[in-house]
Every structure is written in structure tokens, then in C-alpha cells.
Structure 1
Amino acid sequence: TSEGGAEVFKTDYFGTEACLAQSPQLYKQMGVTCDLERVFEIGPVFRAEKSFTPRHLCEFTGLDLEMAFYEHYFEVVDTICELFGYIFENLNKTYSKEIEAVRTQYPFEDFVFKKEVPKFKFVEACDILKEAGYEQNPHKDLETENEEALGKIVKEKYGTDFFVVYNYPIEARPFYTMLNPDDPEYTHSYDFFMRGQEIMSGAQRIHDPEMLTERAIAKEVPPETIQDYINCFQYGAYPHAGGGIGLERVLKLFLGIHNIRKCSMFPRDPKRLTP
């Protein structure tokens, strides 16, 4: 598996075992430590996960970004909110005819978003769900059913299809996620949602090598397998945060299309390899 827990496709690289890229996560961080304060990549992502769902692909186009900040990781969250706002506004403005053409074959309700994006602490999201009759362990990740329910509740109460949940529990995040110093059972992390489905997962990264080693051991990741990564932070690094966006899923949810396979020219899932 990868450093974040995703299953990878293994391949032979001139006699050495290698994997198809499932995330540029570690490389983005290395870029930030080299004084590139803002880094992004748009490219193919491969996940060897047998997920037979309407929202998963084994190959998709990812928009990954990483950014240094100076006071608080919400500087990054707010920047990403502005990025999505720009994307949504310009999709409607530039591709209105194409959107209406899609609507004739796949009727959908317009995607609704606000300039001021609602943000909820994870425990607040759990309370919202509990009030609506859903069970959610505040120390476990959100279940798919509860994500969808939360999306409907937020749409009804706040009039938007786009929102953020932050401060996820430690059990739900990879080893390199910064702990919340005020409550170490939770982390400086966040997910962005469209129509009750997660379209971006991100966090502040640990940039202290000793803490990074401790968290790797705690998450049962052998430090020797990621020593080059840990060494990148030996001489200091900016506090930084980032995340990854699946662009086919964004398109699927923006257009309200049920199956993500209709949002990829040549979709690949566990049962489909060739076009």
C-alpha cells in the first residue's frame, strides 16, 4: 500500500519493483521544502482498489496542491475554497451551452454554492447528524451514508451543495497529518464536499522529522521505508498543507450525474481495462 493507505499497482521497472503513481503527496512536500511555497500538479492517478461504486475509478485525473502558510492552516483551506468558487463560476459562465446539452439527456438540479463556504468541525458534523437521527462515532471517519445525509441537511439549512468538514479524528487520517495541539485525538485536516460526497481530502502535514517518525511508527509504517521523505525535513521546512482533488468526481457532482464512468472518456474500473 501507499504512504496514505491506498492500494497501488505494482510493476517491474528495469528489474526493480515500482508502483504506478497513486499520489504526488510526498513529492509536493519536497517541493515546498525547496522554497517552492505553492506547488500543484495535474496528472493521472492510479488506485488498485476494488471499489464497484458510482463514484470510484481505478484511473482518474488528479489536481494535487500543496501550500506553505504562516499563521494557520485555514489559510490553505480558504485558498482552496476560492479556487473551487472560481471553477464553479467559470464552468457556468463559459460552458453554459454544453451544460444545458448535458441536462437534456441527464436532467439535474443546478449545483448551488456560496462565496462564504460553510465549515463545520468534525464533532459539529456528528452532532448535526445525531440531531437528524443518524449514528456517527466522533472518533471514526464519516460513513458514506452519513456523508450523503449531511449533504442533504446542509443543503436544507444553509442553501448550499458545497461545504467543508475539518478537524477529523486521528484514526481517520494518515501518519503525516498534523495533530491538533489543543486536542490530540483530532487533527488539522479537512474534507471538501459536493452534494454530500467528498471531492477533496487534505490536511496540514507534519514538518518535524522526529514527530513524523513517531507518527509513522504509531501508524505501523516502518520509518526506514520512508527515510528519504523524513530526511527532507531535517533542515527545516515551512508549515504547509494541501490535498488532492479527483476531477472526474468534481464534474460528476457538478452536473449531478449518477455514474462517474460517464465523466471519463475511457473509464477504468476493476472490471474494465481496455477502451
Structure 2
Amino acid sequence: LWSEEALMITPEEQAQSKKALKKQQKEAEKQAKKAEKQAKMDFAKDRYGVSAMVQSQERLGRTLIRVQDLTPEKANQLVWVRARMHTIRAKGKQCFLVLRQQQFNVQALVAVGDRASKQMVKFAANITKESIVDVEAVVQTVEQKIETCTQHDVELHVERIFVISQADARLPLQLEDAVRPDVGVEEEGRATVNQDTRLDNRVIDLRTTTSQAIFRLQSGVCQLFRDTLLQKGFVEIQTPKIISAASEGGANVFTVSYFKTSAYLAQSPQLYKQMCICADFDKVFCIGPVFRAEDSNTHRHLTEFVGLDIEMAFNYHYHEVLDSITDTMVEIFKGLMDRFQTEIQTVCKQYHSEPFKFLEPTLRLEYQEGVAMLRAAGVEMGDEEDLSTPNEKLLGRLVKEKYDTDFYVLDKYPLEVRPFYTMPDPHNPKYSNSYDMFMRGEEILSGAQRVHDAQLLTERASHHGIDLEKIKAYIDSFRYGAPPHAGGGIGLERVTMLYLGLHNIRQTSMFPRDPKRLTP
């Protein structure tokens, strides 16, 4: 129990507590007045803020202008733009923003004036980088070009700014670090982003202007491949990726459980392309994933990649098919040059490379000529030896010096280094009707005339020590009349990498898979 003395409050204490209460009240009144004064001062309070989450509440009739369309022709127009907050630089009563949309960006200015209050400038300065904002602004031409932005002839004078989606303040990587030009040496005090950090945070890395350009150009490769072949009378097919036996009779396959048995992921659509030729489709192509269980940790191998595959019946000579494939590649190269100059230049800013060169018609060398060129350069190799990766690169350099092309075909490979289904050369049994195509000294396509006779196919498979029972379905498809045919498979990621002169295939695979990476 409390004692009486403890509960008695002296008059002094009473006066003090009254004083404290009065002081508190005064402080509260002062704050209320200050807030009221600020509210009166902040005439722009309805012109900025964090928007309610977009849950499709209503459909506004508002037109949003694309950043790439902000040109001097739009001068003095009031426009709405949705973009990401790329960088922010507050300076006194104004704040400079760079707004980014994919590979394009524009400078914006929020300045204290009749449309923006001091509080609005402060709000803009504190928006986190990578947040998505809606901005209403007047397009103004500038006297001096803004070299740091793609839209260097205009800037936006902001009248309203609303945050649509706020980014966390801490980013796993800074976008300006991720697009720093690759000069091969680290500059003092300049951070660069290593490959694993990029791939672990791929969603952010894919936002960079360079990544945006790479994958837009890659989409163009697919479209040009498809359009060119459709114009040539090809039919697009879809082939199964879960198969009962290894497509190429090899061991480099991923095994998957398939109910009470095992199945494999297809290493190539080879068997199915050929079956379609036997089924009189004449000319087919497909675009789809290819799986290789090879423990190759190199700059150019993936365990899953996108295959651009072609197969075609011919009349008398497999060069009819070879011409068709090289024509298609040339159409792709021309289309990329014509339609994707912006993307090529964007990538070049970060990863400088010489423009890709090719000839019309495409240069075609025989394997023996390639070997002779290598020997002349001091390489010791046998007539029927396969090309090693260093020798492929060296031959690419020699071809470039002599013929000034980055794209060429090497024809008539030794039979021993090719798969069992490759047609032998009728004039020299040591060689074959097979070919590889190269870009900047690296192989992008391997192809051949296929053996379309069941008897010869059985002999070739036995010679290679392949279990005939495992490829019975494949051999049987040629027992009922099969037209002579040839084809090849191209790796989409490799074509993109080599066309742009990049040095790692993981840069051209959106979510790469290799022996050490299975996420994201």
C-alpha cells in the first residue's frame, strides 16, 4: 500500500506539472500552426505522391508517350510518360532526374516555381532508384545536347509526378556500374559488376540498356530466320523434347523419370526433322530448346540452348541445301544491319567490337583447304584430324585476313569425326558430305547430307558401335522410301553472341543454364 506521504503532492510540484502541460499544449499548437502554414504553402500537394496500387480500378483515357518518341517535334507539348527512375540529382531548389524506359532515357527537371513547390522537389529527390513513376511534363528543347541521354535534344519540365511502384532503397547492383564500358582493366574507384552477381540478380541486369538491346536483337534473329524460311516455302514444325532414346546415340543426355520408366531430354530434333522429310513435308524448320548434358564450363557452351533447326529434301546435290542455309544466314545478317542499328550501337558502347562482315555469295572452303591454311601458319595436324577450338579460331583469323569475311562455310569434313548418320563422300570415302559454318572463327552450325538408306545407315551405326536396338525406330523410318535430304542446327545464343562480338554466351542467354547454374 502506498503511504499517505507518498501520495501527497507539494504545491511546487503541482505548479511544475501545470507548467509542463501548458508547454506541451503550446508545442502542439505550434506544430499544428506549422503544418497548417506548410499546407497553405504547399500549393502543389495534389501534384505529387505515391499512387494507390493499380488494381484495375478504372481505365484512364490518358495516353502515355514512349520515351523514344520524345523528340524536338513534341516541343512545348504537355505529355504523360511512365518510366523508371534511373538517376536523381538534387541541387538547391531543383532536382534533375533521368527517366529510363528500356534502352531509351530522357532528362527531366523538377524546379520550384508556379507548378512545383519546395515539398514537391523534395519528394522527387527522395524517390528510390528503379521506382516506376508517372510524370506529366512539358517537352522543352535544349540549347546544349544532353550527351548522357539517348533523347539528347529535349528535356521534360515536370508538372506532376506520381510513384506507381516503389523500389527498395538497396539495390543488389547499380545499373550504371552494370553498363560501364568494358575496357579490360578496372578503373580506380569505378565499380564493375561481375558475371555471377549479374546472373544472380538477372531481373535487374536485364533492365540495362545493353541487355535490352541484346535480347531485342536476338528476337530479331528468330523473326528473320522464321520469315526467310517461310518465304522459301518451309513449314514450321514442333518436335517432342521428351524422347525414349538418346537422339544422337550418345551419352550426353539428361535422364528424366517417366512414370515407371526413364526418358531423356532431346539433344536435337534431328530424328523428328528427318521423319517429317520422310513424310513428304519437303522443307521444315523448328525453333526450340535443346539439352546437352555436357560438363563444359566454357565461354560458348550451355546445357540448354535454343536450336534453330533446318531439314530439307533436295534433288541431286546437298549443296542445294547448303545454299539455302547460307542464303538464310545472309538474310538474317542484312536484316539485323537494317533494322537493329540502335541495338548494335548500344551494345557497342559497352562491349566494343568491329562490325560483322560477310560476303555474297558466302565463302565456301573445303576442309583440306582449311587444313592447308593452318599448316602454312605453322600448325601441325593430320588430314583427318578434327579442328580443335584454338585451330578453329586461328582459321577464322586467317580467313578474315585473306577474304575479309567473318562468316564462311567449311565443307567436306573427314567422315571419322562426324556422326554415324552422315553421308560419305562418293569420290573419297575418307571424307563426307558434311559442313560447319563459322562466325568470327567459332562454329555456329553443324550439318550434313543424312544417310537416307536403311541398309547403309545400319552399317554406319554398327561401325560406330551403336546399339542398333536403341535406334531401331530411327532406322525404320527410312524403310518406306526416303528422299535424299540434308540439314543443320544453329545455336541462337551463339549467333547473337558472335554477331555482336561478345565474349560469353551467358550474355546472350536470358536465364542461362550451365553445369554450375540452375537458377534463377
TM-score grouping bracket, smaller chain normalisation: over 0.9
Q: CA deviation at 1:179?
A: 0.4
Q: Is the 8 A contact 1:57 1:269 kept in 2?
A: yes
Aligned twin of 2:10 = none
Cα-to-partner distance string for 1:216-274 (whole Å, 9 max, x where unaligned): 00001111111111111112111000010000000000000001100011011100001
Aligned twin of 1:44 = 289
d(CA) in 1 for partners of 2:399, 2:314: 29
Q: Is the 8 A contact 1:6 1:47 kept in 2?
A: no
- SS of 1:90 mapped into structure 2: helix
Cα-to-partner distance string for 1:33-90 (whole Å, 9 max, x where unaligned): 0001011110011111011111111111100110000010000111111000000010
Bigger RCO of structures 1 and 2 (CA < 8 A, at least 6 apart): 1
d(CA) in 2 for partners of 1:137, 1:257: 32
Match of 2:395 among 150, 153, 156: 150
d(CA) in 2 for partners of 1:67, 1:136: 34
Between the two proteins, what is the percent identity of the paired residues? 57
- SS of 1:229 mapped into structure 2: helix
Match of 2:314 among 69, 85, 97: 69
d(CA) in 2 for partners of 1:4, 1:267: 25
Unaligned 5+ runs, structure 1: none
d(CA) in 2 for partners of 1:85, 1:210: 37
d(CA) in 1 for partners of 2:259, 2:310: 30
Match of 2:497 among 252, 255, 260: 252
Q: TM-score, normalised by structure 1?
A: 0.98
Question: Could you say if the C-alpha distance between residues 141 and 6 of structure 1 is closer, same or farther in structure 2, counting changes exceeding 3 Å?
Answer: farther
Q: Is the 8 A contact 2:247 2:269 kept in 1?
A: no
Aligned twin of 2:85 = none
Aligned twin of 2:377 = 132
Confirm whether residue 186 of structure 1 aligns to residue 431 of structure 2.
yes
d(CA) in 2 for partners of 1:185, 1:156: 30
User: AA paired with 1:43?
Assistant: G
Aligned twin of 1:102 = 347
Q: CA deviation at 1:4?
A: 5.4
Cα-to-partner distance string for 1:79-130 (whole Å, 9 max, x where unaligned): 1110000000101111110111111111111110011111111111100110
Q: Is the 8 A contact 2:247 2:270 kept in 1?
A: no
Q: Is the 8 A contact 1:6 1:22 kept in 2?
A: no
Post-superposition, which runs of at least 4 consecutive aligned residues in structure 1 deviate over 4 A? none
Match of 1:159 among 404, 411, 418: 404
Match of 1:217 among 462, 468, 493: 462
User: AA paired with 1:161?
Assistant: D
- SS of 2:397 mapped into structure 1: helix
Cα-to-partner distance string for 1:157-181 (whole Å, 9 max, x where unaligned): 0010000001111111000000011
Unaligned 5+ runs, structure 2: 1-245
Q: CA deviation at 1:2?
A: 4.3
Aligned twin of 2:164 = none
d(CA) in 1 for partners of 2:469, 2:431: 26
Aligned twin of 2:254 = 9
Q: Is the 8 A contact 2:310 2:489 kept in 1?
A: yes
The count of residues paired between Structure 1 and Structure 2 equals 275
d(CA) in 2 for partners of 1:135, 1:52: 27
Match of 1:120 among 336, 340, 365: 365
Give the CA RMSD over aligned residues: 1.0
Confirm whether residue 82 of structure 1 aligns to residue 327 of structure 2.
yes
- SS of 1:110 mapped into structure 2: coil
Larger radius of gyration: 2
Q: Is the 8 A contact 1:177 1:206 kept in 2?
A: yes
- SS of 2:443 mapped into structure 1: strand
